[in-house]
Structure 1
Amino acid sequence: MSEKIYTMLARAFAAEGVDVCFGLMGDGNMHFMTTLAGLPDVRAYFVRHEHCACTMAAGFSRARDTVGVASVTCGPGLTQITTALASASASNIPMVIFAGESPLGAAWYGQRIEQAPIVVATGAHYIACHSAKLMAKYVSEAFFIARTQNRPVVLGVPYDLQQLMVEDDQPYQPSTDFIPTLAPLQPPPTDVAAARVMIEAAQRIVVLGGRGARLAGAADACRALAARTGALLATTLPARGLFCPDPFELGVAGGYSSAVTRDMMAKADLIIAVGASLTSYTADSGKLFPGARVIQIDEHPVGVKHARRTADHYLRADARLGVEALIEAVGTRAPQAGWRDAETARRIAQEPADTHDFPVPADTIDPRRAVAALDAALPKDWVLVNGTGHNAHFSVHMRGRKADDFITIREFGAIGNALSQSIGVAAARPDATVVVIDGDGSVLMHMQEMETIRRYNLRILVCILNDGAYGPEIHRLRAQGLSDAGAVFGRGDMGRMAEGYGIRGRVVTAEEQIATLTQAFTASEGPEVWDIHIADTVISPMTRRSLVKHG
């Protein structure tokens, strides 16, 4: 049977297990998107900006632990997604992007541009699909790379080639047919023995879990190792909540750490990092646990990350099996006084993340108190999407929420993404209520996607921590005695702006409103936006440390 290449490509995507796709149509991808959307069991989300389509795919990927899929047209459609690709590359997110390319047979085309160098510069992989007979292999290769390398891949398919007829005479072989099924990696006994010596010599141990520990199902083993060795627990930011509700979980290790976490990590003499890449963020550029030796349990230890040596000893193994081997190797011992004890548990449970005093102008809320009110009011099983920027520090400290219900993608440091990520998360978990907490500057970058939220009636609560400015910039400018006028824009009324998109909007100027609003939202249907006016005078601890360092 003969069919158009774009039809064959759409069926190939479906054969790869694609059941959700995000896209913005143009000449270069409209036939593919329309065909894919028409296939059984495929949900297509037609959105308002190409960048947001890719960011939604990233959020979907992170929420479902699978390949995210998006589609854009050629030329300007492709150039719009570079920040989204860079963010996904930095965060090791597997995605496949179907992009049009300018027609091969056209002597001149107004949107022609060399797409491959643009994509490769972001860290993503590019496949130029210029052979009609190899189209199916291009798709399989793209998904194979995305799945095995955890990176985004862009398929560039010329507009005119998509219109050619091909014979459907060969069954499609999905990438999963070529991915070897391997047993989890067992740790070498000699390396386990060396790690045991380090553990026995240590007095104040922290077991630090990352996304690799979550994906390997190592959380229970990490808790058991911590109990056996008298250790505390902590996580990387992407794995926040992994050990919830363990009373000895310190929370996030890194620049976002609470005061208690920084105090205890500074005293640690051994870190056992499980499925954590030990980035500069996690180690706070080496300042978080300066006196500790480090054991890293990882299937692919790299030795150097972000220009820093990652560990003193490497245990190359599956995260769960590596931890279980250590449990068998070490003996049980009583915890060090002042470490894993009732007083430490009390401090973790009761002491605020930050107690620095700031003046708070009238009709605004201290962002720490606003987040505390959200934490108290919002059900713990709602999925939280955490944004990027100055205010992201505060919402990290919402406790009692599992790692599966916390999504953050911030390795590239780009703002303007969380709103779109929340749409991807809602698509991945359609039965969940999704809460996105982000700053006003970030939300305003792509506020047009509120129309997408309304059109698909997604159950998303958008909480905007609105300080009327770009937070990091105003605090640095003020600290240096410079005018902050270029970074201050005013709070406006983003609740009424949401209503312009057909979404219920509320302005919040007192923390007491949040409990009442939560009750009303719980009893309602569809999305809602809370414009929470926060004080621009409150500086996060991470920014305060940066001001001390840089002036």
Structure 2
Amino acid sequence: MNSVTAINANPVAYQALAAAFRAEDTEVLFALLGDGNMHWAASLTDLGVRGVYARHEHAACAMATMYARATGKVGVASVTCGPGLTQIMTALTTAVQARIPLVIFAGESPMHAGFYNQHVEQRPLVVATGAHYITAHSLPRMTDYVREAFFLARTERMPVVIGVPLDLQKQMLPKPYDYAPSSSVIPRTGRVMPNETDVDRVVNAIKASKRVVVVAGLGALYSGAQLDCEALAEACDGMLATTLPARGMFDHHPFGIGISGGYCRATGHRLMQEADLLIAVGASLAHFTTDGGKLFSKAQKVQIDTQPLGLKHGRQAADIYLRADAVEGIRAVLDKLPKEGSQRNWRSDALATEIADAPADPTTFPPQPGFIDPRDAVAAIDRVVPKDWEVINSSGHCAYFTAQLRGRRPENFNVIRDFGAIGNGLSYAMGAAVAKPDRTIVLLDGDGSLLMHAQELETVRRHGLKMLICVLNDGAYGSEIHKMHSDAISDEGAVHGRGDLAAVARGFGLRGRTLNSSDQFELAFQEFLEVGPGAELWDIHVADNVTTPVMRAHMSH
């Protein structure tokens, strides 16, 4: 709704705040209710907004985070004051580092109370995460705060928390309600066009190179630059790779070598180390993308981005910067490259065959009877689950394995792991299920992560979400046990046993089954389809001796 919205003159504050949120095109609210937000939330759902009510505040914030990533809209969540807000610190920090646009309505303790047992100074907590905090203490400006919050979320791609005292929420506005949404004041600008001198620098770097890798990030995806990236790599006789969030973009391409960074495949790792020029398109060249600077140690680095950064995660991000929209920047470079074609001859039929057929990680491990190699489990999931289904990749030791799915579009592969926090996977899957109710969501998670917020399995059932929850269960916090073994210290604090997660799922009213052999997946998936819409958990018992390349590199230092 882009027009000015009006409701009954001089409403109470919480009604006006709800109407303003609705005017900002809020369609879904993720919340856990308490005194500080329940009147506002009830008013918002009365206006037609769908309420999704979590069992824990962290989950509500995380659901809104993935909803925003999956839809491209601003995610909206709400918590009560005090402990309601303190519970979301990890989810909020992750959203900040992933640059997710969120607006969170939070109650504050009453302004005029001498004592309130849920009081805490909320602003310092929120600001410490990197999010913006709006102290909504002025009745005349009450709806202005909402417009400011959505404006910041949309233009800066950041979470914003609005804190409104309980007693102030119930007071009448001193003036008639009148609201113009943030979309009415956001500048409408075109694509960022490149500077010709900077284009020349990029062209000269390409002419001087022999082995080029083009790495596309979310900026390339959002700009629609896939074909342009492919054309640039073709002109350079180069390879194509992606950041983790954009993985799958070039899986169809014979010279798409997969993820750039610690999650890269063995062949991709070798080729990236051979490169003498890296061209990052819509990618920030963060620590993970370059594997701490080790992957492209021989390469000159070019960054094409609307907001190129000179310094990222303590390292110089690139050597040459082209400030431009991904499409416009690449096309300007291609216009100045020689038309006679590349003479580099890095590409070959044999290399294309290796890229297609070589395993992501060829390392062998002793088999553990009764347990599945996690790589085989992921291959089985990849085999039975249709390529166009929505996938949520969680965090933790298992995340490397589950990132190796092939032939899946980045629009259907959702991952947010910028803060390195486990425990978000189930909530992210729920946010995606709400965002795309006509799709079945496949969550790939570890047992330690799932059990942090297993209570949300009840929320899955209550809201009728369509999900297949695949848990790689090694009975421990996988990263920790391998590090503990490497450092020769006791793993007692990280091992908790596999238990029976399928029974846990059934206890919450979902379907559940245990898998401990690679040949069980076809039948399990067929029966999942036959039962029909709903949610099911696969408790996949995996071997605990299989380590990822990332972990092995860590343990070798």
Q: What TM-score does the superposition give when structure 1 sets the normalisation length?
A: 0.98
Q: In the alignment, which residue of structure 2 is the partner of 1:31?
A: 39
Q: 2:148 aligns with which of 133, 141, 149?
A: 141
Q: Structure 2 residue aligned with 1:469, among 463, 471, 476?
A: 476
Residue identity opposite 2:280 in structure 1: A
Q: Which residue of 1 aligns with 2:173?
A: 166
What aligned pairs does 1:248-287 form with structure 2 within 5 A after superposition? Answer: 248-287=255-294
Q: Secondary structure at the match of 1:156?
A: strand
SS for the counterpart of 1:463 is: strand
Deviation at 1:168, TM superposition (A): 6.4
1:403 maps to which residue? 410
Aligned partners of 1:335 and 1:341 also within 8 Å: no
Deviation at 1:540, TM superposition (A): 0.6
Partner of 2:27: 19
Equivalent in 221, 231, 251 of residue 224 of structure 1: 231
Matches within 5 A, 1:11-410: 11-40=19-48, 42-166=49-173, 169-332=176-339, 333-334=341-342, 336-337=344-345, 339-410=346-417
Displacement, 1:167? 5.7
Residue 354 of structure 1 and its aligned partner are, at CA, apart by 0.5
- 1:344: how far off? 1.8
Inter-partner Cα distance in structure 1 for 2:220 and 2:376: 32
How far has the Cα of 1:170 moved from its partner?
A: 4.3
Shift of 1:519: 1.4
| Aligned partner of residue 360 in structure 2, secondary structure | coil
2:541 equivalent to 1:533: yes
User: What is the deviation of 1:226?
Assistant: 1.2
Q: Which amino acid aligns with 1:34?
A: A
In structure 1, the residue matched to 2:3 is: none
What CA distance in whole angstroms lies between the structure 1 residues aligned with 2:195 and 2:39? 52
Partners of 1:247 and 1:522 in 2: how far apart?
33
Q: Deviations over 1:440-484 (max 9, x none)?
A: 000000000010111111111100000000011111111122221
8 A Cα contact 1:231 1:335, kept in partner: no
Task: List runs of 5+ in structure 2 lacking aligned partners.
Answer: 1-8
TM-superposed CA distance for 1:507, in Å, is 0.4
Q: Which moved more, 1:169-178 or 1:120-129?
A: 169-178
Counterpart contact for 1:364–1:509, Cα < 8 Å: yes
Give the number of equivalent residue pairs. 547
State the one-letter code of the partner of 1:237: L
* 2:5 equivalent in structure 1: none
Per the alignment, residue 518 of structure 1 pairs with 525
The residue number in structure 1 matching 2:429 is 422
* Deviating more after overlay: 119-128 vs 341-350: 341-350
Identity percentage of aligned residues: 51
The one-letter amino acid of 1:399's match is R
> How many Å apart are 1:158 and its aligned residue?
0.4
Answer with 319-328 or 518-527: which moved more.
Answer: 518-527
Distance 2:52 2:158 in 1: 22
Single out whichever of 519-528 and 195-204 deviates more from structure 2.
519-528
Q: Is the 8 A contact 2:140 2:174 kept in 1?
A: no
In 2, Cα distance between equivalents of 1:112 and 1:169:
31
Q: Which moved more, 1:114-123 or 1:28-37?
A: 28-37
> Secondary structure of the equivalent of 1:157?
strand
Q: Which moved more, 1:488-497 or 1:165-174?
A: 165-174
How far apart, in 1, do the equivalents of 2:351 and 2:17 lie?
A: 57
The C-alpha deviation readout for 1:238-258, integer Å capped at 9, x for no partner, is: 111123422211111001111
> Please, which moves more after superposition, 163-172 or 308-317?
163-172
Q: Identify which of 7, 31, 35 aligns with 2:15.
A: 7
8 Å contact from structure 1 (residues 103, 159) kept in 2: yes
3-state DSSP of counterpart to 1:22: strand
Q: 1:478 to 1:346 in 2, by over 3 A?
A: same
AA matched with 1:326: V
Which amino acid is 1:347 matched to?
A: E
What is the one-letter code of the residue matched to 2:15?
Answer: T
Equivalent residue letter for 2:361: D
Report if the CA contact (8 A) 1:229-1:331 is conserved: no
Separation (CA, whole Å) in 1 of partners of 2:177 and 2:16: 11
